[in-house]
């Protein structure tokens, strides 16, 4: 006599989920095999469907400099999350909080100056 295994429920759940996902796809596939009109061609099977012909390859490379750009933007974006509550509570804060925030801002600005001097902001 085996003991009740709580993981059995997860297995049953997974099987049901897989069946739920696969059954419509399988039905559609069988339906298409049996009943769809056999009229296909290169235009009809083309991936792009806006009437225009697609040009080139979708697997193009992006410059890695873009990611540095993105990271710098993200840092200043996150900074506003700290700045907004600080600005709302500004009048009730002691001088120490103000100095701490200024130091935080200057650290970020220093990073920006460093990146600028490295030439990251020049899109060449």
Task: Return the residue of 3, 7, 43, 103 that touches another protein, per CB under 8 A.
Answer: 43
Question: Which one, 5 or 40, has the nearer CB to another protein?
Answer: 40
Cβ atoms of residues 89 and 97 within 8 Å: no
Sign, CA dihedral 76-80-82-86, equals positive
What's the closest the beta carbon of residue 54 comes to another protein, in angstroms? Answer: 11
What's the N-to-C CA distance of the chain in angstroms?
72
Task: Return the residue of 52, 81, 88, 95 that touches another protein, per CB under 8 A.
Answer: 52
Segment interacting with another protein (CB under 8 A) among 6-14, 44-52, 66-74, 112-120: 44-52
Q: Which two tokens stand for residue 114?
A: 């460093």
**Does 40 interact with another protein (rule: CB under 8 A)?**
yes
**Does 24 interact with another protein (rule: CB under 8 A)?**
no
Distances (CA, A) of 112 to 25, 60, 98, 121: 51, 29, 21, 10
Residues of this chain that bind another protein (CB under 8 A): 36-37, 39-44, 46, 49, 51-53
């Amino acid at each position: 006599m085996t003991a009740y295994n709580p993981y059995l429920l997860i297995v049953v759940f997974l099987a049901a989920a897989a069946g739920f996902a696969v059954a419509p796809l399988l039905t559609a596939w069988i339906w298409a095999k049996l009943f769809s009109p056999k009229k296909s061609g290169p235009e009809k099977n083309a991936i792009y469907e806006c009437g225009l012909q697609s040009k080139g390859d979708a697997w193009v490379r992006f410059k890695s400099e873009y990611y540095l750009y993105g990271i710098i933007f993200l840092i200043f974006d996150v900074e506003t999350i700290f700045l907004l509550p600080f600005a709302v509570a500004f009048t009730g804060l002691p001088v120490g909080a103000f100095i701490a925030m200024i130091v935080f801002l200057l650290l970020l600005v220093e990073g920006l100056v460093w990146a600028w001097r490295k030439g990251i902001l020049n899109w060449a």
